[in-house]
Structures are given as structure tokens and as C-alpha cells.
Structure 1
């Protein structure tokens, strides 16, 4: 049994999809097809030399606070719910992990030795 996901827990830089090939069970395609950089909060943006946004940090990476990283006193699902920043990612990419405890809508499984096609900028 394989577990797979698209994660934005550390941030975003480009759209991606994961497509199981073969295997059995649900073996669903998961993706983050939208350009999260377009809605990235300014203080989370990573810029290239000409000032273009090329990546968007997560709240954990940008702010380094336990409540955004789900660490310390916040290290459980009931103490670390989604926040306004993680919802920016989730609204753009509903199938992707947007924060540490986003398992229910973002973890996929496939049985039977599937292969996986990873596509950037689908």
C-alpha cells in the first residue's frame, strides 16, 4: 500500500500533479494545478532578481511560530486547526496538504504496486 500526496506545508513554487498508473483501490489523481504565487501574501513571497514572485512560503516557514508549524503546545490536530494562511493554499489547491494535520482531504492511497507520473505545470 502506497500513501501519496501533494504538500504545500513548506510552501509552493509551481503547479504539480501526481497520477497513479496501475495499482488497485481508489488510486486517485491528486494535484495543485493553480499558481498559488498569484495570491501569495507579500511577506511570504520569494522573488527572483527582476522582482517576480517565484515561490510562496508557508506560514510556518515565513513566520516560524508554533501555532503555524503545529509544534510545541500546538502539536496535535485539535490544537492546530487550519488558519487564514493555510486556507489561501487550500482554496487554490483543495486536494493538497495545506498544513500539518490536513490528512483527511489530502492523503491518497493505492494498492498493488502502482507507478506514479509526476507532472510539473499540468
Structure 2
């Protein structure tokens, strides 16, 4: 009887995990190749119009999806990207090097809510849409301004636009003390992408929620 009960509990647990897990569809609409990256998930080369699907498990936190540009990998999946490079690997095991536009999320957290955002705290390289696609949740986020073209000279980087923390590494921009305020540089990002994180303490206008079990899409160049 105990083994039967345990089996039922295991089946129920597996069912709960499967029903609460998310599907995230990543699509490249850019007129150039983007090497999509995800932690968890790895990486995938995407030509224009191509799609990649990842399935992070229920409870995943501290996760992100981003695009890498101007990459060159060999047959073993080793190489380099101009933006968003993750230790020279096609299949990312860690986060990318700035500048890179980030889709960040945490699944099934407080009150079984998903939390998601677009962050420019690591700068900007590729325009992005990050939106729910199920569960009656419809409020998505977009950051499609020409940030690379309008980037202040102090923040310009090959293929992207750095966040000031990356460049200056001071508490004013990096918020290491936890008490920083908006700056002229953070306002540059915020005025162009009002729903995106422009500096680390930009929570009130930049974090969005959906019920746990919602599916999402990430679109490069929406």
C-alpha cells in the first residue's frame, strides 16, 4: 500500500510540475542572424524568421533569454560573439557579456506568480518583445527604440550600447550600496523603453506578473 501511495504522490508531483512549467518561444524577426541564448536552455542560431523553444521547469528563478550578434562558432560549438558572448560557447552555461538586452523571469514564485521583465542593466544590443501568450495574461513588454544608433558616446560599444555601470563601475551607476537614484544615463534608456529596467533599482515600473503556468514569447526585432 505504501508503494502504491508513493507512486500516486509521485505521479501527482510530476503532473503538477508539468502543468506549471512554461514554454518560451524565441523568434528572430531581425534581418540578420541572432544567436539566441538562455539560462537555463543553452543556445541556438536563428536566421530571420526562425524559432527556438525552451521549456524551463516550474520554480525556475534568476533566468534570462538574450540575443547574441556577430558570432562565429566551430563544429564543436566554440567561438566568439561580438555581443552577449557566454564564455565562447554556443550552448550557454552562464550569463552573457554586456551589452545585451535581457528578458528576465522567475516562475511560480510568491503567490504562484511569474515575474518577468526586460532589463537594460546590462545595456542593449537587440530590440526585444517579451510577452505572455496564455492564461489570459496579455500585458507584455517591448523595447524597440534605436538605442544603438542614439547611444551616448561614452556608452558606445561594438554592436551595442553599454549601461553606465559596465563602463564606469561606480556605486552611482551600479547601486552597490542599494541607495542609488536615476541618472542622466539611466534616463536615456528609460525615455526610449519606459517599461524596461534602466538601472538596478528601477523596480516599480519595470516588473510584470502573470499566473504561474503561463507561456511566453521572446521576439528579437518585433
What range is the shorter-chain TM-score in?
A: 0.7 to 0.9
- Which structure shows the bigger proportion of residues in helix conformation? 1
Among 180, 186, 206, which residue is 1:80 paired with? 180
Q: Does 1:101 align with 2:176?
A: no
The structure with the larger Rg is: 2
TM-score by length of 2: 0.48
TM-score by length of 1: 0.85
Distance apart, 1:55 and its partner CA: 0.2
**Ranges in structure 2 where 5+ consecutive residues have no aligned partner:** 1-112
Q: Does 1:68 align with 2:154?
A: no
Highest RCO, 1 vs 2 (Cα 8 Å, sep ≥ 6): 1
| Helix, strand or coil at the partner of 1:31 | strand
Q: Is the 8 A contact 2:171 2:180 kept in 1?
A: no
Q: Which residue of structure 2 lines up, in the alignment, with residue 46 of structure 1? A: 157
**Ranges in structure 1 where 5+ consecutive residues have no aligned partner:** 48-53
For the aligned residue pairs, the C-alpha RMSD in angstroms reads 1.2
Q: Does 1:12 align with 2:138?
A: no
Deviations 1:68-102 (A, max 9, x none): 0000xxx22xx211100000000110000000010
- Which structure shows the bigger proportion of residues in strand conformation? 2
Q: Is the 8 A contact 1:27 1:111 kept in 2?
A: no
Q: Is the 8 A contact 1:39 1:88 kept in 2?
A: no
Paired residues in the alignment total 110
